[in-house]
Amino acid sequence: TSTSTNTSTSTQTRTNTPTSTTSFAARSVVINEVAWMGTTASANDEWIELLNTTASTINLNNWTVTIDSGTPITLTGSIPANGFYLLERTTDDTTISDIAADKMYTGSALVNTGGTLTLRDPSSTVIDTANGNGGAWPAGDNSTSTNRLTMERNNPTSPETDSNWVTNNGSTINGLDAGGNPIKGTPKQPNSSLSPTATRTN
């Protein structure tokens, strides 16, 4: 008597699926305002504001802001659709005392004679710059310690050039510095050149 035995062998093949990487368009987030001159309370109390120019929330984890060739400032959290993200050079969130910072950082001072800021996404792609051609700051005022006016982006959807920066008008302002003095800028508010009637008084 002959007996037939069937033996089957199963082989599994594993396929690696490439990890998708989100691609961000240039100026989807822009450097919108720069207080390179600090505040009345302290010239060291510098701050930077980003603006989301899209209609969607953007996750900013692992995005970076670099001042000149310094150590990149790594961002966390997200920026709402058409909303703002505030970076304060501080350890106690008092650079703008009545508005919470989205990111606090130390070091990386903005030199009053000029500099360049670079915003990169997690893949190190440059998304935007401020004063990208270097040299003196194209706007902002540091003529007196009580009249430190910020540098504001005039048109956030247009390419970054010297002519696309203006000085805060001194009347459309928002926020208080560490000493309770008015911030001569518009942190987390539309820039003065875009909302000339939206004056807030603290």
Q: What is the per-residue pLDDT across 114-140, written as a single tens digit (0 to 9) for each?
A: 999 999 999 999 999 999 999 999 999
Residue 6 has pLDDT above 60, yes or no: no
Residue 175 has pLDDT above 60, yes or no: yes
- Two tokens, residue 192: 């003065």
Contact 174, 185 (CB under 8 A): yes
Q: Which residue has the tokens 């004056």?
A: 199
Q: Which residue has the tokens 């450097």?
A: 31
Q: Which residue has the tokens 């903005």?
A: 110
pLDDT of residue 132: 96
User: 153 - beta bridge partners?
Assistant: 165
Instruction: Report the predicted TM-score, pTM, of the whole model to 2 decimal places.
Output: 0.86
pLDDT of residue 198: 40
pLDDT of residue 19: 40
Q: Which residue has the tokens 């603006």?
A: 51
3-state secondary structure of 13: coil
pLDDT band at 34 (very low <50, low <70, confident <90, very high): very high
Beta-strand relationship, 103-105 and 84-89:
parallel
Q: Which residue has the tokens 């956030």?
A: 156
- Rounded CA separation 53/41 (Å): 31
Let me know the angle formed at the C-alpha of 178 by 36 and 180, rounded to the nearest 5 degrees. Answer: 115
**Considering only CA atoms, which of 83, 27, 25 is closest in space to residue 51?**
83
Mean pLDDT of the chain: 89
